Structure 1
Amino acid sequence: MQDSQIIPQKMRSFRTSRTVAALVLREMSTTYGRSAFGYFWAIAEPAAGIILLTLIFSLALRTPSLGTNFPLFYASGLLPFMMYLDVSGKMAQALRFSRPLLAFPAITYADPLLARLILNGLTQCLVMSIVLIGIIVGFDLDVILEFRFIAASIGMALALATGLGTLNCYLFMRFPVWERVWAIVNRPLFFISGIFFLFESIPEPYASVLWFNPLVHVTGEMRRGIYVTYEGAFVSPAYVYGLSAVSLSLGLLLLRRHYKDLVHR
């Protein structure tokens, strides 16, 4: 009896894996073109843009709040922020992009979300690697990287992007005006997420309010991985993962109940 239940479970898992893999390949072909050069350009373009922004800001702000190299300081805050922004934005559009495919019984509402998380998460990891290696090698910096903190920052950024992206996937389709509101809400995050400053430099009572911005924790964790002398005692992974879990659970619950109505609207 148990064996008869295990076999269908394995078949469903295998079918889901194949479905997600097919959706990832579809995403790559439709978004980046059918050639390998298209995906290479998708990685090189944001990497070059981040490097250019880093160099421009380094001319205006030569003295960083941490370390001696402003491009590295700026990139250590910008890269996890861009990872969150890109992945959450792509996941929020997942069902709208894959609307025709959801008519097939083999494809569930979770498959396009997972496919976009995998593809865009890996893309942003490659962009992050290219930028950091380029800055460290280009400026001949002597840096000791703590990969456990870097991996933790990436995990926090992806968790937050997954949670908010899934919730917004429902909200964008159910309330189209929310997409514009969300875009307005996200604009100040570039300036208040610790990209240009350290959390410790913010005085009270503003620091206590800023602490509730989860991206401050994400950028702080990344800097713990790049600067061995930086403690980042304020960083709370539990807060970020808790907020991500609540957003993800609510988003999945709403999509499970209403995604069929949304895709046929």
Structure 2
Amino acid sequence: MLGGCNERQDYTHFNLNIAMEFLNALNVQGRVISALTLRETRARYGNSKLGFFWALFEPFAHVVVFIGIFSALDRATPLGDSMGLFILTGIIPWLLYSNIVSNVMSGLSTNKALLGYPQVMPIDITISRVALEFSTLFLVMLFFLAIAHYMGIRIRIDSFLEMMKPTGLIILFGTGIGLINAAIIPHYPSYSSIFNAFSRPLYFISGIFFTANFLSPEVFDFVDFNPLIHLIEWFRSGFYPSFESDLYDPEYAVFICVGIFTLGLLVERLSSKKARQV
């Protein structure tokens, strides 16, 4: 009887020790990621106001260019009353994807020295860069919405949750692509240029300045493989109360984004030991 009680106490004590070790490890990694994010923020924005200016100027430049093109072609905004808002709801998701890919790709190569610290893992560097990119573009989006409201443009967001769902998937997709690329580039340095060249057409077929409803069935079948057009359509369906797209496929977007992210994590895990040795 006493033996059984002692065994249960030992088992409970063992489980508590495991739980405490896990929580301590989680706490350490949380502090590491916070420190890395702060370091990335200071490196990007701390020494100059130019970094903050560029974070605002980049989406603004895209919006202005497309407003000019649409005005020259005498085209009305596909959704809502503001062409600027329409372009903004396409360019912010696109920049989130492309900036995450770019920053995750270069994360390990520009932070090799940090991997000498036993507490710092390659995935910590990735998480810190993704967190900074999301935070920056989230604030940029809020800034431009505030400016639009100040200018008298009517803004009524249909569902913030429906906007965050594709946003989360874009983060997974961009992170996965970035991790895969980061593992390939050390072995094939020219791959970075090849990837960038093949990625440029995505800008024009991801729905930044159009909706899928405006495409003919033949054209949509051509761009349907691109998960970004589904994600941007989904994002806009959450932003605009009057917009309901029958063409975007959430299940396809989830499958591709989660699959690419999982593959990226596997590749990162396999290459992390080599990254520490380089």
Say yes or no: TM over 0.5. Answer: yes
The counterpart of 2:175, out of the listed 162, 165, 173, is 162
Aligned partner of 1:105 in structure 2 is 118
- 1:184 corresponding residue in structure 2: 197
1:175 aligns with 2:184: no
Unaligned runs of 5+ in 2: 1-13
- CA-CA distance at 1:246 after TM superposition: 1.8
Shift of 1:23: 0.7
Q: Match of 2:53?
A: 41
Q: 2:66 touches 2:87 (CA, 8 Å); kept in 1?
A: yes
Using the TM superposition, give the Cα deviation of residue 116 of structure 1 relative to its aligned residue in structure 2, in angstroms: 0.5
The match for 2:237 among 219, 224, 241 is 224
Q: Measure, in 2, the Cα distance between the counterparts of 1:193 and 1:20.
A: 32
Aligned partner of 1:179: which letter? S
Q: SS of the counterpart of 1:86?
A: helix
Deviation by residue 1:65-105 (Cα, 9 ceiling, x = unmatched): 22332222222211211111112211111111211111221
Which of 43, 48, 72 matches 2:85?
A: 72
User: 1:257 corresponds to which letter in structure 2?
Assistant: L
How many Å apart are 1:263 and its aligned residue? Answer: 5.1
**RMSD over aligned Cα, in angstroms?**
2.1
Q: Are the counterparts in 2 of residues 47 and 128 from structure 1 also a CA contact under 8 Å?
A: no
SS across alignment from 2:108: helix
Aligned pairs for 1:186-205 (under 5 A) are 186-205=199-218
Are the counterparts in 2 of residues 143 and 226 from structure 1 also a CA contact under 8 Å?
no
Which structure 2 residues correspond to residues 104-123 of structure 1 after superposition, within 5 A? 104-123=117-136
SS in 2 for 1:157: helix
Q: CA deviation at 1:60?
A: 2.5
TM superposition shift of 1:242: 1.9
The 8 Å contact of residues 59 and 88 in structure 2, kept in 1 or not, is answered as no
Residue range with higher mean Cα deviation, 11-20 or 79-88: 79-88
Question: Which position in structure 2 is the counterpart of 1:237?
Answer: 250
Match of 2:155 among 143, 167, 191: 143
From 265, 268, 272, give the equivalent of 1:252.
265
Give the counterpart letter for 1:259 in structure 2. Answer: S
Q: Which amino acid aligns with 1:244?
A: C
**How many residues are paired up?**
263
Q: Does 1:95 align with 2:108?
A: yes
Q: State, as a whole percentage, how many aligned pairs show the same letter.
A: 25
Separation (CA, whole Å) in 1 of partners of 2:119 and 2:86: 46
Amino acid in structure 2 at the alignment position of 1:9: F
Q: CA deviation at 1:55?
A: 4.3
Tell which deviates more after alignment, 142-151 or 175-184: 142-151
Q: In the TM superposition, what whole-angstrom CA distance separates every residue of 1:95-143 from its partner, at most 9, and x where no partner exists?
A: 11211111221111111001101111111111122223323432x2223
Alignment partner of 1:173: what SS?
coil
Take 1:83 and 1:133, find their aligned partners in 2: how far apart are those partners? Answer: 20
TM-score (norm 1): 0.90
Distance 2:148 2:72 in 1: 18
What residue ranges of structure 1 are gaps of 5+ in the alignment? none
Residue 24 (structure 1) shift: 0.7
- The alpha-carbon deviation at position 164 of structure 1 amounts to 1.4
Moved more, 157-166 or 1-10: 157-166
State the SS of the aligned residue for 1:179: helix
Paired residues of 2:90 and 2:207 also in contact (CA < 8 A): yes
Distance 1:210 1:51, change over 3 A: closer
| 8 Å contact from structure 1 (residues 101, 107) kept in 2 | yes
